[in-house]
Amino acid sequence: MIEVKDLSVDLGGFLLRDITLDVKDGEYYMILGPTGAGKTVLLESIAGLYPIRGGQIWLNGREITNLEPEKRGIGMVYQDYVLFPHLSVKENVVFGLRLRRLPRHEIEATLDWLTELLGISHLLERKPDTLSGGESQKVALARALSVKPEVLLLDEPLSALDPETREDIQHELRRVHERLGLTVIHVTHDFEEAVALGDRIAVIGEGRIMQVGTSEQVFRQPNSEFVARFAMSRNIFSGEVRDGDDECAVIEVGEVGIAVATELRGRYHASIRPEDILISPEPLKSSARNSLRGTISRVDDRGSTLLLTVSVPPEFICLVTRRSFEEMELSEGKEVYLTFKASAVHVF
């Protein structure tokens, strides 16, 4: 396990302070925060790549606060891969193994194992600049795993990828984590990514850790305005995805089945953006697959728009303009219909 105690880091202008993390063995630990919160620097500090101002870092019972990065046993993967451009994919992956002067057969065995694990054996002779984003990130992952780190640090590993590849790599990360029982610290600004992968989530902002907990805890019981703003105003549900009556799949959330467009089956999360939900006093006839009846339980005035919490249950957060709100004479306690397309629901 890795423990960070009262870490403070100077970010040139502002400080990260009192950063305390305890990441358990084999845990997938997410650090969630907005861009510019110092997440990358935090990871580099843990890896020994950025000078810290104070605090301690412990890895499996030994203090590594002042240890050189090459002696820590901590791997790092960056958002934009940072592959060695002058080396082939194979040379990238075995870079750390060659430094250790391992016997050739051992290097070959590790290489085989990694290329098989990540499905990159066909890329070995290529140069990094010929790879797609997804391929690059797999190679970066293989390179980091090659030296069998005790902890793997991932710095926004999915953010530079297109949506389809992102899902693929996300799946890959989950699989690698489970198969190797690896301890992972993953930073992201994407709430859904945090919910999808993290055993626990630490929300970072304003220079410190705001809240730590499971996704459910962080999402349902935000302890501050900051976390609430980050986590709320999104509809995120978890439930069982199964075949629906027709072409569409359905995710069961409590008593309600929500039609979704996905090939995934099993326990997953689903999200719908508040602005994708239509509100009407009467059921709407439309091509949208989802039409639910609920009661407005809360109204948040945001000026030209209003956020309505509609209890079906579960509770949905919907965005309406002031004009529609007034025209439909909506108010707390009023019964309304929610309409949204199956394709507006993101399953992850």
- Give the C-alpha separation, 205 to 344, whole Å: 29
Q: Does residue 82 bind other proteins (CB under 8 A)?
A: yes
* DSSP labels, 160-204: TS-HHHHHHHHHHHHHHHHHHT-EEEEEES-HHHHHHH-SEEEEE
90 binds other proteins (CB under 8 A): no
Q: Is 96 in the site for other proteins (CB under 8 A)?
A: yes
User: Residue 86 CB, nearest distance to other proteins (Å)?
Assistant: 5
78 near other proteins (CB under 8 A): yes
Task: Check binding of 51 to other proteins (CB under 8 A).
Answer: no
Cβ pair 204, 38 in contact under 8 A: yes
* Least Cβ distance, residue 174 to other proteins (angstroms): 22
Q: Binding segment for other proteins among 144-152, 159-167, 201-209, 240-248 (CB under 8 A)?
A: 144-152
Note whether 146 binds other proteins by CB under 8 A: yes
Listing DSSP states for 300-343 in one string gives: EE-SSEEEEEEESSSEEEEEEEHHHHHHTT--TT-EEEEEE-GG
Could you say whether residue 74 binds other proteins (CB under 8 A)?
A: yes
Among 107, 144, 258, 279, binds other proteins (CB under 8 A): 144
Nearest residue (CB) to other proteins, 98 versus 322: 98
Does 85 sit near other proteins (CB under 8 A)?
yes
How far apart (Å, rounded) are the C-alpha atoms in residues 18 and 7? 5
The secondary element (H helix, E strand) that includes residue 210 is strand 208-213
Is there binding between residue 106 and other proteins (CB under 8 A)? Answer: no
For other proteins, the binding residues (CB under 8 A) are: 44, 47-49, 68-70, 72, 74-76, 78, 82, 84-86, 95-96, 99-100, 143-144, 146-147, 149
